[in-house]
Amino acid sequence: MILPPPEEISTFNDALRRQKSRVFDLFSNSTAKSTVTFPLWGTSITVYANANLSIYSAQKCNASCRFCVEELRPASRGISLQFQKKTNVDDSDYFARLEQSLVAMAPLSPSLSITGGEPTKDPRLPRILQCVRQTPAKRRTLTTNASGLMDIHGGRRLLEHVADAHLNHLNISIADPDPRANGIQMGLRDGLTPAQLCDVVSTVASAGTRVRLSCVLLKSGVQGIDNLIAYLEFARSMGVDNVIFRQLMKSDPATHYSNSIVTFSDQQRVLLEPLLDQISCHPQFTFEKQIVGYYYYVEVWKYQGMDVVFEEADLAHLEAVKRQQPQIIHELVFHPNGRLASTWQPWDGVLGPPEDCDLLMIN
């Protein structure tokens, strides 16, 4: 799962590494430093000017990562995914609502991010990609475990549909360079082979789309600088020059529903801060920038021409910022039930579309 677009600071500040999103201030240290206010279905909303709109695929994921962020988000609010995720099974109604929502967000021109579940196993993905391509946006991204990219839709590989969308980024989650170890870490039987991954990278590159590999840091997996460098060399061998390493996301012990995902995440979390302190002293890494988000902290480094991103996030801080600034929407999510909301919970911050909208006019 990929986090919303960044709020960035270009010169290194050690205090930011220590304090992270706790010092986030929209109007002084975010990228946009501003909000946009516009009418939405009969009311007025105020949204962070660099907000991300996630299109959350209804498709159940075919992997079973024990650190799954899709499951962690509802757990952080005290509910399990199975009780929260509802799907609008009427294609016509779903797409009418999606198109209505994308049109309504035109004054914002948000970054658009397709995520899941597993979007490449979603039969709706080719049409979602068409919607995204036609919508004005700052950036367009698809986040996936990539297992469905070779599937055939309408006589063509899904990969070709993805290339046609001319996305800015294709984010592929791979927890370990070794396919067998990756299959175990992610509980994924049908991940891409290295040859297929090379094919994906070159096919989308010819359409202007850059692949980024996403790797979680795990005590039982990739951890420590030697592992990081081995992963980066694997990425380079696949034709990828952009990698993100993620600390397992934190949730609030006071509110979370303590399931196996929360427990595993707490047991397996490799702390990013000491790793970054080692990176700072490593001669092969050079600093690029720091990014402070409303519940995440990011550093970007260069390693032999490659972009290397480090990210950590705390869902407890997300809730704290929402409480401090309830009048400002920081991100948007189009849920599988066909509702646009300002949170990852389809029951919290629902914005529309209203039931009385003339949705069928869009079809």
> CB neighbours of 327 closer than 8 A, spacing ≥ 6?
46
How far apart are CB 65 and ligand SF4 at their closest, in Å?
A: 3
> Which of 215, 257, 272, 196 has its CA nearest to residue 65?
215
**Of 30 and 265, CB closest to ligand SF4:** 265
**Of 150 and 362, CB closest to ligand SF4:** 150
**Of 69 and 279, CB closest to ligand SF4:** 69
Distance in Å from the first CA to the final CA of the chain: 30
Instruction: Name the residues that contact ligand SF4, by CB under 6 A.
Output: 1, 61, 63-65, 68-70, 116, 118, 145, 173, 186
**Of 186 and 333, CB closest to ligand SF4:** 186
**Of 65 and 318, CB closest to ligand SF4:** 65
The bridge status of strand 8-9 relative to strand 285-292 is antiparallel
Cα distances (Å, whole numbers) of residue 267 to 16, 183, 214, 262, 272 = 25, 20, 20, 9, 14
Angstrom distance (rounded) from CA 143 to CA 213: 10
How far apart are CB 118 and ligand SF4 at their closest, in Å?
A: 6
**Of 2 and 40, CB closest to ligand SF4:** 2
One-letter identity of residue 57: S
**Of 81 and 328, CB closest to ligand SF4:** 81
How far apart are CB 226 and ligand SF4 at their closest, in Å?
A: 25
How far apart are CB 186 and ligand SF4 at their closest, in Å?
A: 5
CA torsion angle 141 142 146 147 (round to 10): -170
Angstrom distance (rounded) from CA 7 to CA 26: 9
Angstrom distance (rounded) from CA 12 to CA 136: 33
Structure tokens, 221: 């997996």
**Of 65 and 142, CB closest to ligand SF4:** 65
Cα distances (Å, whole numbers) of residue 356 to 44, 86, 96, 270, 338 = 18, 21, 13, 49, 14
How far apart are CB 206 and ligand SF4 at their closest, in Å?
A: 26
CA–CA–CA angle 158, 163, 165 (5° rounding): 100
**Partners of residue 9 on adjacent β-strands:** 290
Element (H, E) at 243: strand 242-246
- Grouping H, G, I as helix, E, B as strand and the rest as coil, residue 296 is strand
DSSP summary character for residue 314: B
How far apart are CB 286 and ligand SF4 at their closest, in Å?
A: 30
Angstrom distance (rounded) from CA 241 to CA 259: 36
Contact 239, 201 (CB under 8 A): yes
How far apart are CB 51 and ligand SF4 at their closest, in Å?
A: 22
**Of 175 and 359, CB closest to ligand SF4:** 175
How far apart are CB 208 and ligand SF4 at their closest, in Å?
A: 25
How far apart are CB 66 and ligand SF4 at their closest, in Å?
A: 9
The single residue listed with the structure tokens 């950590």 is 312
**Of 117 and 353, CB closest to ligand SF4:** 117
How far apart are CB 14 and ligand SF4 at their closest, in Å?
A: 31
